[in-house]
Amino acid sequence: MSEKRIMVIGGGPAGLEASRGIVELGYELVLVEHLEELGGSPISADYAALTPDMEDTGVAMARMVDAVVGNENADIRLSSSIASVEGSAPNFRVTVESGGESEVVEVGSIIVATGFKHFDPGRETQRYGYYEFDDVITLIDAERMLKGGGFVRPSTGEPPKTVCFIQCVGSRDRQIGNQWCSKVCCGVATKEAIEIKHLLPECRVIVFYIDMRVYGFWEDQLYWKAQEEHHVNFIRGIISEVTKRGDTVVVKGEDTTMGRPMEVPMDVVILSVGMEPSDGTLAMAEMLGLPLECHGWIETIDGALNTVQTPVDGVFVAGAAAGPADLEDSISMGGAAALKACSFVRRTSLPTI
Amino acid sequence: MSEKRIMVIGGGPAGLEASRGIVELGYELVLVEHLEELGGSPISADYAALTPDMEDTGVAMARMVDAVVGNENADIRLSSSIASVEGSAPNFRVTVESGGESEVVEVGSIIVATGFKHFDPGRETQRYGYYEFDDVITLIDAERMLKGGGFVRPSTGEPPKTVCFIQCVGSRDRQIGNQWCSKVCCGVATKEAIEIKHLLPECRVIVFYIDMRVYGFWEDQLYWKAQEEHHVNFIRGIISEVTKRGDTVVVKGEDTTMGRPMEVPMDVVILSVGMEPSDGTLAMAEMLGLPLECHGWIETIDGALNTVQTPVDGVFVAGAAAGPADLEDSISMGGAAALKACSFVRRTSLPTI
């Protein structure tokens, strides 16, 4: 095959699916991952189980990694970063740095799959006391505990009797500049609530929410299941503050269904933090000259009818680098971006008449 | 190219994107559409503008159609249906019927993109009076009016002074057997509410909802915009019944935020009907031996990590045939399915050693 190679930047779900697509179609791949392991956030942030299937994350992601690693068309660079990009499609010259060495790699097309980062609740949402109280944690901290096979109150190491989730931390919030809904947090919180009830059937688990956005099949797969089989409570409410009384954190706000203020002591408070563009996503946008859409994520062209094509010739985007995305979004976009990148390098290698 | 042809069944957004992907990669396509025009539901159901971009549907879908029609690798069969499928991958023999003639078409792989149908509100939700009152219409009836450039009260032909949407009709409903959330109705209703306010700035427009599932960028692109720029009211409430008093329909239910019963006269009531598997989707599942997942849509394998692959070798699914899908989902899945189908026919045409 005479087509130029395709570079995928980022080895999470979107990047891995794009990579699999490229090599299975017989095209040549260079996959660059800045961490020392493939798998993206599900692996690096120690997710316990995937949403909504609850399959073990390690097992599921290993299947994706195995589909790429060892393929004769795959050149995989771990612990590597992009120092610069020169030229334009189909003649990109990408400087890849790894362990102090740098190498110029020539590719015909680039797929940016650099994903998101988790919102830091120590910023403008410090009213929830994340950096102040041990028993206030995030969805990601909870995943890590669940992955370890247990769930305890951090300040005591004992099983909690009451746990609550506060939704939309760092999302749907004009004040902090994150106007978007992060799409997955309602589903992930519901999944974690079920996992906690599995481990601690006697624990009272509450989810405080504005709208439960458990769309599609998540409705009954997660939301109904949590309520009916696991007796998780979902309370529509606005949480204004988390404080402390003695050794216990106290959640203050308003139950908007009952129309009354509430003040609930909790053993553990879990902040459902949303997504922001990752540092890698912003760096690649800058380096490749990719415009950002109005929320600050990588822009695609043609609105809803073209989910992976950027305005820069030969550069495609997949997964949460283009905005909040669930796993299905990332996987479908990974495949779609691989298809367009393969078509692109094929077209540019055809003899001109 | 010696690879076998790929058949795409269904010429809506997912099928068109899959088709574009196949021909742009140099593979050969047979696209079968049962209607006489390509474009799928956005065209056949006369959508006015797409969600969320509000681009004119005709213009947007024409761009997708033009990317396929006229390509030398595209064999497009309009007004055609699938009578039977024999054999198995990569040697499917598909009998295509058109205008009384039938022809056996040999293909190596099949992509099912047969989509959804709109829930019929005359079924178990007849308490909303769709077939009883002229002024009770559906999201689709409203699209059709908006496409015509106006919006009137059907019983009088005059501009309405009050319009409301009732969300989740035929969705999230155990009683009628549709447990899923249809994903797009919150966004589509919000878009239509904005369009109505554009035409009739003095009209009062209310959306009665359970949870506003305007996920991702729809949050501020549609939901905030509707409230802040167009003064659409969103009221969390359960609507139990639509009746009539004199010439006016009356919406009865409970405002769950205020905790009180409500009874609101309305000039026009719009039922936000959800998605169900289309007849074509069920017929293709039967014909190809595709298992249905627990809600009755075409099943894919590997949960969230494989959105387009069915358990049947060489058969892929894209768009709403696999469950409620927004336009972005359908487009990404179309690309992803095309990639897998091309890989499949390529692999099965490689010489065995």
Confidence at residue A303, expressed as pLDDT on a 0 to 100 scale: 87
Confidence at residue A352, expressed as pLDDT on a 0 to 100 scale: 65
User: Phi and psi (nearest 5°) for B83?
Assistant: -90, -35
Across the interface, which of A53, A256, A304 has its CB nearest the CB of B50?
A304
Is the predicted pLDDT of residue B348 greater than 90, yes or no?
Answer: yes
Is the predicted pLDDT of residue B256 greater than 90, yes or no?
Answer: no
Across the interface, which of A52, A63, A304 has its CB nearest the CB of B327?
A304
Q: What does the pLDDT average to over A238-265?
A: 91
A residues 209-238 closer than 8 Å to B (CB): 211-220, 224, 236
Q: Is A258 on the interface with B (CB under 8 A)?
A: yes
Q: What does the pLDDT average to over B133-139?
A: 97
CB contact under 8 A, A259 and B256: no
Q: Are B29 and B8 in contact (CB under 8 A)?
A: yes
- Which overall architecture, per CATH, does domain A6-115+278-349 show? 3-Layer(bba) Sandwich (3.50)
CATH number of B118-275: 3.50.50.60
Residue type, B12: G
> Can you tell me which residue has the tokens 């790699």?
A105
Is the predicted pLDDT of residue A282 greater than 60, yes or no?
Answer: yes
Other CB atoms within a 10 A radius of the CB of residue A224 amount to 16
CB contact under 8 A, B304 and A334: no
Is the predicted pLDDT of residue B2 greater than 80, yes or no?
Answer: no
Please give the Cα distance from B324 to B14 (Å, whole number): 13
Q: Looking at chain B, which residue has its C-alpha nearest residue A55? A: B303
CB contact under 8 A, A257 and B258: no
Q: What does the pLDDT average to over A23-33?
A: 98
Please give the Cα distance from A90 to A8 (Å, whole number): 14
Using CB atoms within 10 Å of the CB of residue B26, give its burial: 0 to 12 exposed, 13 to 18 middle, 19+ buried. middle
> Can you tell me which residue has the tokens 């040697």?
B91
DSSP line for B8-66: EE--SHHHHHHHHHHHHTT--EEEE-SSSSSS-HHHHTT-SB-TTT--BHHHHHHHHHH
Q: What does the pLDDT average to over A232-247?
A: 94
Q: Residue A303 CA to chain centroid, in angstroms?
A: 22
Please give the Cα distance from A318 to B122 (Å, whole number): 41
Structure tokens at B40: 């799928």
Is the predicted pLDDT of residue A1 greater than 60, yes or no?
Answer: no
B6-115+278-349 matches B118-275 in fold: yes
Q: Are A14 and A330 in contact (CB under 8 A)?
A: yes
CB contact under 8 A, B308 and A25: no
Q: Are A151 and A200 in contact (CB under 8 A)?
A: yes
Please give the Cα distance from B157 to B153 (Å, whole number): 5
pLDDT, tens digit, 9 for 90 and up, residues A150-202: 999 999 999 999 999 999 999 999 999 999 999 999 999 999 999 999 999 99
Q: What does the pLDDT average to over B61-77?
A: 97
Mean pLDDT across chain A, nearest whole number? 95
| Start-to-end C-alpha separation, chain A | 20
Domain positions in chain A are: 6-115+278-349, 119-274
Please give the Cα distance from A132 to A136 (Å, whole number): 8
Is the predicted pLDDT of residue A126 greater than 80, yes or no?
Answer: no
Q: Indicate the helix (H) or strand (E) that contains B156.
A: none
Chain A residues close to B304, C-beta within 8 Å: 50-53, 326-328, 331
Is the predicted pLDDT of residue A130 greater than 80, yes or no?
Answer: yes
Q: How far is B4 from chain A (nearest CA, A)?
A: 14
Task: Answer whether the bond into residue A52 is a cis peptide, omega within 30°.
Answer: yes
pLDDT, tens digit, 9 for 90 and up, residues A258-271: 888 999 999 999 99
Is the predicted pLDDT of residue B1 greater than 60, yes or no?
Answer: no
Q: What does the pLDDT average to over A211-215?
A: 98
Q: Looking at chain B, which residue has its C-alpha nearest residue A236? A: B257
Confidence at residue B259, expressed as pLDDT on a 0 to 100 scale: 82
Is the predicted pLDDT of residue B255 greater than 60, yes or no?
Answer: yes
Across the interface, which of B64, B183, B211 has its CB nearest the CB of A305?
B64
Chain B residues close to A179, C-beta within 8 Å: 219-220, 224
Handedness of CA B131, B135, B140, B144 (dihedral sign): positive
Q: Are A204 and A161 in contact (CB under 8 A)?
A: yes
> What letters, b where the CB count within 10 A reaches 16 and e where it falls short, cover B204-222?
bbbbbbbbbbbbbbbbbbb
Residue type, A221: Q
pLDDT, tens digit, 9 for 90 and up, residues A71-87: 999 999 999 999 999 99
> Can you tell me which residue has the tokens 């997708």?
B64
B residues 136-155 closer than 8 Å to A (CB): none
Beta bridge partners of A97: A81, A102
Residue B139 vs residues B46, B136, B166, B218: alpha-carbon distances, Å: 11, 10, 10, 18
Is the predicted pLDDT of residue A351 greater than 80, yes or no?
Answer: no
Q: Looking at chain A, which residue has its C-alpha nearest residue B236? A: A257
Confidence at residue B349, expressed as pLDDT on a 0 to 100 scale: 86
Please give the Cα distance from A216 to A247 (Å, whole number): 40
pLDDT, tens digit, 9 for 90 and up, residues B166-191: 999 999 999 999 999 999 999 999 99
Across the interface, which of B63, B211, B342 has its CB nearest the CB of A212?
B211
Confidence at residue B353, expressed as pLDDT on a 0 to 100 scale: 55
Residue B26 vs residues A340, B5, B46, B69, B351: alpha-carbon distances, Å: 12, 11, 32, 14, 20
Across the interface, which of B224, B303, B332 has its CB nearest the CB of A53?
B303
Q: How many helices (H) and strands (E) does chain A have?
A: 9, 17
SS3 A128: helix
Percent of chain A scoring above 70 in pLDDT = 98
CB contact under 8 A, B346 and A25: yes
Task: Answer whether the bond into residue A265 is a cis peptide, omega within 30°.
Answer: no
Confidence at residue B35, expressed as pLDDT on a 0 to 100 scale: 97
Confidence at residue B122, expressed as pLDDT on a 0 to 100 scale: 83
CATH number of A119-274: 3.50.50.60
Chain A residues close to B306, C-beta within 8 Å: 331
Please give the Cα distance from B270 to B8 (Å, whole number): 34
> Can you tell me which residue has the tokens 């497009």?
B76
Is the predicted pLDDT of residue B352 greater than 70, yes or no?
Answer: no
What CA dihedral angle connects A331, A333, A338 and A340, to 10 degrees?
160
Pairing of strands A92-98, A80-86: antiparallel
Q: Residue B27 CA to chain centroid, in angstroms?
A: 27
